[in-house]
Structure 1
Amino acid sequence: MPSLTITGTTRVFGTLAHPIDHVRVPSVMNPLYEKHGIDAVMVPIHVLPEDLEDAVRGMRANRSLGGLCVTVPHKVTIAAFCEEVGASGRRVGAVNAVRFDAERRMHGDNFDGQGYVAGMRAGGFDFAGKHVLQLGAGGAGMAIAFAVAEAGAASLSIANRTLARGEELAHRVHKAFPGCITRGVAADADPAGYDVAINTTSLGLHAGDPLPVDVGRLDPATVVSEIIMIPEETALLKAARARGHAVHYGRPMLEEQIKLIAAFIGTPFPSFEACSAGTSG
């Protein structure tokens, strides 16, 4: 693999976050830039929420900066600075990728949901006509709900600790995709009768977390899907595999998002191989 050489023509991209120590996107993108001979580099950009407006002003002025991956806590607030936001970003009200055009205008969109659906398809699962139980209604879960409906799911039930939040998201999803029957349900609602159960909550990140769903109440044929990448096999996936369920890991969502974001910011990869570094975002 050729070594990364930075010159005056190198296009610079950033991962915008606070805190910054959990961010791994540069360690995924830079080896791919090297592998494919793309004259680009991605660096971490640490900005506090109260400094975001000043940071945006500076980034607009930096003509070497071609775009951004955006993660916590800036996904929502950065959208307000964009002159143009794509359909997914508008539905969710948040963006996780930004590109700068020649006039330094900002174009944003959200690829959480598209990346998730593409990852499931890569693993052989098609949402068309399926009945879906989604666990969680915040963060990436919002984008995933819209993407699942857009992918042709017959129905989507959103189980959330705060029932009203799940119901509100279900209403928004149905308004955007009326062909998908949507509803908000209580977090402890009966999980039987679904083709797939998706965990979009943070339960599973830490040892000792309770399971987000009672696996013993799922139908035997229900596929169990996770978006957490570290640990690779959460307690939910272990419990599901032990009971004979087909499972899908969180890693493919990242890999498909990387492809989509790279193309959006102007550095598409001719091919993609799984990367060894985990990420957050």
Structure 2
Amino acid sequence: MPVGLPISGNTILFALVGDPVRQAMLPTLFNPMLAEQGVDAVMLPVHAPQDRFDEVMRGLQAIGNVAGIAVTVPHKSSALAYADEITPAAEAIGAINALRRNPDGTWTGDNFDGRGFVAGLAASDIDPAGLTVTLVGTGGAGSALAVALLDAGVGTLRLYDRDTTKATEVAARVEQRSHGTVRVTDTLNLTGADLVINATPLGMHVDDPLPFDPTGLEPHAVVADIIMKPDQTPVMKRARELGYMVHPGLHMLTNQLDCYRKFFSNTLSAVGSSENQV
């Protein structure tokens, strides 16, 4: 692993905010990238309990040498309130996973989860165009996946969430981006699915129930998860036992790393480090 520059008074800070945050792997990938490019900056994990999220975000944005903030569960929707402007994709998603400080002190938000997920599918030779996809979970990450999958040309996207109202709101935001069909299902429907995605937190803990039972899927179906730790979630383990192809969550992160790099590339000058470039 590359050794970064010594931390000094000139070091620029990035924060990764979540609750919990121990499972987050972005700093593990982002910091070596900074080191490889000789950037005097570091990303630190910040545990922000839900009832103190506002306090943490206001504090981070008030720190003069914080150039950017990455956001993970469960704060991606709440983080919208801390952006002065967001990209059109983030507006459709209704959530962000990155904020950057601009030279004028304002903050721009974007979301890379969906783009990373679809790029990860492509890297695994899975083309979502024309597929029937069941997406389980329509929170911040699930919404991002919905937008990116529709942009990639899926044939039918079925949205399922225990909170049907939330799934319906996501469908209303994203269906205009699709030439296919977007459906909200009151009950989990895996019939005929080519790709089934767990976009819920179920699987982060060993005693979690399965988000869905992959038994009876089409023989060619792919079971995907967005959870990165553990790398073999219970639903993926079950799918493997049944002989299905699985697609782990780490692909989503590794394939959005370049999005983070480009997004933050112009922000370091806003905190007084014009020599740095991500």
Give the TM-score band, short-chain normalised.
Answer: 0.7 to 0.9
Q: Tell me if structure 2 keeps the 8 A contact 1:68–1:99.
A: yes
Q: Tell me if structure 2 keeps the 8 A contact 1:167–1:185.
A: no
Note the 1:179-190 alignment, pairs <5 A: 179-189=179-189
Paired letter, 2:199: T
Q: Tell me if structure 2 keeps the 8 A contact 1:135–1:187.
A: no
Query: 1:208-246 CA distances to partner (integer Å, 9 max, x unpaired)?
Result: 433322322211111111111111112211222222211
* C-alpha displacement of 1:8: 4.5
The answer for the alignment partner of 2:112 in structure 1 is: 111
Note the 1:1-281 alignment, pairs <5 A: 1-18=2-19, 20-47=21-48, 48-52=52-56, 54-55=58-59, 58-59=62-63, 62=64, 64-175=65-176, 177-189=177-189, 191-266=190-265
* C-alpha displacement of 1:249: 0.9
TM-score (norm 2): 0.84
SS of alignment partner, residue 203 of structure 1: coil
Partners of 1:123 and 1:202 lie apart in 2 by: 23
Partners of 2:261 and 2:57 lie apart in 1 by: 25
| Residues 116 and 104 (structure 1), Cα distance of their counterparts in 2 relative to 1, 3 Å cut | same
SS of alignment partner, residue 223 of structure 2: strand
- Give every structure 1 segment of 4 or more consecutive aligned residues whose post-TM-superposition deviation is greater than 6 Å: none
Q: Tell me if structure 1 keeps the 8 A contact 2:192–2:217.
A: yes
SS of alignment partner, residue 124 of structure 1: coil
Q: Tell me if structure 2 keeps the 8 A contact 1:29–1:42.
A: yes
Paired letter, 1:185: T
Q: Tell me if structure 2 keeps the 8 A contact 1:160–1:166.
A: yes
- Provide the aligned length of Structure 1 versus Structure 2: 263
Q: Structure 2: any 5+ residue segments left out of the alignment?
A: 268-278
| Residues 89 and 192 (structure 1), Cα distance of their counterparts in 2 relative to 1, 3 Å cut | same
Paired letter, 1:35: E
Paired letter, 1:188: L
Partners of 2:22 and 2:227 lie apart in 1 by: 18
| Residues 95 and 243 (structure 1), Cα distance of their counterparts in 2 relative to 1, 3 Å cut | same
TM-score (norm 1): 0.84
Paired letter, 2:226: I
Over the aligned positions, Cα root-mean-square deviation in angstroms equals 2.4
* C-alpha displacement of 1:193: 1.0
Q: Structure 1: any 5+ residue segments left out of the alignment?
A: 269-281
Query: 1:90-143 CA distances to partner (integer Å, 9 max, x unpaired)?
Result: 112221111112111111111111111111111111111111111122231111
Partners of 1:223 and 1:158 lie apart in 2 by: 17
Q: Tell me if structure 2 keeps the 8 A contact 1:77–1:94.
A: yes
Partners of 2:171 and 2:35 lie apart in 1 by: 42
Q: Tell me if structure 2 keeps the 8 A contact 1:68–1:97.
A: yes
| Percent of residue pairs bearing the same amino acid type | 36
The answer for the alignment partner of 1:279 in structure 2 is: none
